[in-house]
Structure 1
Amino acid sequence: MLTHPTLDQLHDLGLHGMAKGFKDLGAHPETASLDHAAWLALLLDHETTLRRQKRFERLARVAKLRQAATVEDIDYRTARGLDRAMFLKLAGCDWIRAKHNLLITGPCGVGKSWIACALGQKACREDLSTAYHRVPRLFAALALARGDGRYAAMLRQIARVDLLILDDWGPETLNADQRRDLLEIVEDRHDRRSIIITSQVPVDRWYEIIGDPTIADAVLDRLVHNAYRIELTGESLRKKKNPATVTMQA
């Protein structure tokens, strides 16, 4: 068998997964009994797996998630109002494909950001583009972009991702520019893409955080009417962890 020329051809064609599979299968004598169709199927499986992994790695890198969280590591034992059945349904990501939103509220330290990042990581695994932003930094970046001509391009970039995570919104009242920024983001994504928002402030107080009644009506109408909600309670999980475990599951 012309092993090396075949490997070279597969690499030249960009079929690196098939090349690895070809090499691995050739190293196992028991695979000699496989027919051509079975060999080809196994090689295609290797190629598909490698491409999916590379796609996930690229999406996760671009997403810039704050926490290295996964849905498998979510803690259901701590009493904080997290409904396991609902969360597992959200972990399937069908709500993102349906262009729905998710609002996560609760006091400081109960795992809002971790849950949002875990769902973001799962979205990347499901081949859904994701972007994570802390709201104060996003507003600051938009303010800079407004001044140097990048504002429209930045809004277009935000609008394109399948899942936008807006973490740590509130409790400060938005200024005029921030209200317009929020309205633009929500309007661009309404019935087109999904948003996760985390906040220490209950949803029924978001109206006053936005400030302007007209803009608040427009934003909340687009955000809330098709949104799932996770309302967490309890004490900060950080108080229950020592420094060696503070970055582990939440």
Structure 2
Amino acid sequence: MLTHPTLDQLHTLGLQGMAKAFIELDRHDDADTLSHAEWLGLLLDREATWRHDKRLSARLRHAKLRHRAVPEDVDYRSPRGLDRRLFDALLKGDWIDAHDNLAICGPTGIGKSWLACAIGHKACRDNRSVLYTRFPRLLDELALARGDGRIASRMKSLANVELLILDDWGLQPLDAQARHDLLEILEDRYGRKSTIVTSQLDVASWHHAIGDATYADAILDRLVHNAHRVELSGESLRRIKSSSPVDAAAKD
């Protein structure tokens, strides 16, 4: 078998998954029992898997998710009011296809950021572009971008990502520039892309947090009226875990 020329051709064509599978099959004693069609099928399956994994890795690197959260690890047992049926529906992503938004609200430590990242991870699996950012940090980055002339390209990138996760919304008052930037981001995305917002404030308090009635009306019109809501309550999961018998024994 012309192993080396075949491998060279596979690498030249960028078929890395097929090349790896070809080496493995060529070394396997049972390979001779496979038909040509079975050989080809195995090679194609491996190439498809390799490309999917490579694409997912790239999506996750770009997303910069704060937590290594995956849907399979979502905790539905903790008493925080998480509706499993609703969250399973959100993980499927039909609301992203519809360009709706999502608000996840609840007290600190309840798992808002983690849940948002789990949805982001699933969106990456579904070959959607995702970007996570803490909202206070985003405002700082936009200020820097405005100073060095990158603001237009930065705003364009925020407009184009399919799922934008704005974490820790409402932690600090918004000044005039922050209100303007937020409105521009939401205006560019409205009806075209989806946004997740996590906040310790309930949605009813957002108008006051924005600090200007005119801007608040415009921002919330683009953010809230088509938003699904996950409203959590209860004790901080961090506090519960730190006080568990296992953790307490580990500290002794």
* Band the TM-score falls in, shorter-chain normalisation: over 0.9
Matched, 1:182 2:176: no
| Residue type of the alignment partner of 1:47 | E
Alignment-derived partner of residue 248 in structure 1:
none
How far does residue 33 in structure 1 lie from its aligned partner after superposition?
A: 2.6
Alignment-derived partner of residue 109 in structure 1:
109
2:242 is paired with a residue whose SS is: coil
Alignment-derived partner of residue 133 in structure 2:
133
Root-mean-square deviation (CA, aligned residues, Å) is 1.5
- Identify unmatched segments of 5+ residues in structure 2: 248-252
How far does residue 197 in structure 1 lie from its aligned partner after superposition?
A: 0.3
Alignment-derived partner of residue 250 in structure 2:
none
- Identify unmatched segments of 5+ residues in structure 1: 246-250
Counterparts of 1:96 and 1:33 in 2: how far apart (Å)? 46
| Residue type of the alignment partner of 2:226 | N
Alignment-derived partner of residue 82 in structure 1:
82
How far does residue 31 in structure 1 lie from its aligned partner after superposition?
A: 3.3
Contact residue 135 and residue 167 of structure 2 kept, 8 A:
yes
| Residue type of the alignment partner of 1:72 | E
How far does residue 215 in structure 1 lie from its aligned partner after superposition?
A: 1.4
Alignment-derived partner of residue 241 in structure 1:
241
Alignment-derived partner of residue 93 in structure 1:
93
Counterparts of 1:12 and 1:44 in 2: how far apart (Å)? 16
Alignment-derived partner of residue 219 in structure 2:
219
| Residue type of the alignment partner of 1:78 | S
| Residue type of the alignment partner of 1:61 | R
Q: Greater CA deviation, 233-242 or 29-38?
A: 29-38
Q: Greater CA deviation, 195-204 or 167-176?
A: 167-176
Contact residue 173 and residue 208 of structure 1 kept, 8 A:
no
Alignment-derived partner of residue 67 in structure 1:
67
Q: TM-score, normalised by structure 2?
A: 0.93
| Residue type of the alignment partner of 1:16 | Q
Contact residue 187 and residue 222 of structure 1 kept, 8 A:
yes
Contact residue 179 and residue 210 of structure 2 kept, 8 A:
yes
1:149 is paired with a residue whose SS is: coil
| Residue type of the alignment partner of 1:159 | A
| Residue type of the alignment partner of 1:35 | S
